[in-house]
Amino acid sequence: MSAPSTVVQATARDGAMDAGIVNAMTVDVEDYFQVQAFAGTVARRDWDRFPSRVEANTDRLLETFAASGARATFFTLGWVARRHPALIRRIVAGGHELASHGWDHTRADAQDPAAFRADVSRARAVLEDAGGVCVRGYRAATFSIGARNLWAFRVLEEAGYRYSSSINPIRHDLYGMPDAPRVPFRPGGGMVWEFPMTTVRAFGRNWPCAGGGYFRLLPDALYRAGLRRVNARDGWPAIFYLHPWEIDPDQPRIAGVRWKSRLRHYTNLDRMLPALCGVLRAAHWDRMDRVFAPQLADPGRGDA
């Protein structure tokens, strides 16, 4: 795969110090039964049959962020917002940014442009109605925007979005665009910024450094070292992400799931919340729209 041929890349801040950089904390708000790992086992038509835990788990995250003074961006499914509007109001009341994770966790690369437009437009409308705020950010389910569907940025612009955080520039069996820029860029001559997931460049390839399953599976010290490297050497803010179900070791177990999916989903759930608290202490964290305010304030378009 090759990187987008037409991009506008922001330049790193000269002389940025580790202690002076504010990083972006993000949460992908979905329930434990809605993940891609269970897509072949749990049908969407059956979702309402499962006991929901997303509201209680997200409230725990809101309490954790409040205790640390951090603010975050909550990329939320429209499906969740429709069923838990009070939760959406609490996210906004806590000073966090409300953003879109699409309607029902359907992968962007599994939709054509018309279906994708309907999905992101419906999610944005429901989120804005529940939260009473403008929704400008979007993150595709399972980082499913890549070289094959860069048309998605045009659709996002038409649907009223200003930025995306949907490309993960690594190699992975479920997603990834390893040749994409590692820093914010505007693909295809449009106005929508892409803020790619954080990676560390070493040994000729990109390595994940953005939280999620890798954070649970690998030692905490490895992540903190990567964070320091991105802040100090690259001079860029990092993006960290997690899901509410990742702090819930008591969640119901889904039967019939393949061993790889079980490993990815259930490993070290009991240590995620303490590890998150360590991350919050290790650096400065804020919402995406404030961390990347200089890019979002730029009224220009990408190169045609």
CATH number for the domain whose boundaries are 23-296: 3.20.20.370
pLDDT of residue 183: 92
Give me the sign of the Cα torsion angle 173, 179, 183, 185. Answer: negative
Position 301 pLDDT exceeds 80: no
pLDDT band at 10 (very low <50, low <70, confident <90, very high): very low
Residue whose structure tokens are 């008591």? 250
Higher pLDDT, 224 or 12: 224
pLDDT on residue 74:
99
Question: Which residue, among 47, 63, 97, 121, has the nearest Cα to 280 in the 3D structure?
Answer: 63
Q: Residue 15: which pLDDT band, with cuts at 50, 70 and 90? A: very low
Question: pLDDT-derived band of residue 14, with 50, 70 and 90 as boundaries?
Answer: very low
Task: Please state, in angstroms and rounded to a whole number, the distance separating the CA atoms of residues 139 and 74.
Answer: 10
Residue 295's pLDDT band (cuts 50, 70, 90): very high
**Within a 10 A sphere around the Cβ of 101, how many other Cβ atoms?**
29
- pLDDT value at position 202? 85
User: Where in the chain are the domains?
Assistant: 23-296
List, for residues 123-170, the tens digit of each pLDDT value. Answer: 999 999 999 999 999 999 999 999 999 999 999 999 999 999 999 997
pLDDT on residue 154: 97
More confident residue, 299 or 53: 53
Count the residues in the chain. 304
pLDDT confidence band for 71 (50 / 70 / 90): very high
The string of pLDDT tens digits covering residues 174-208 is 666 888 899 999 998 899 999 999 999 988 898 88
Q: Which residue has the higher pLDDT, 213 or 56?
A: 56
Q: Taking Cα atoms as reference points, which of 90, 74, 100, 30 lies closest to residue 251?
A: 30
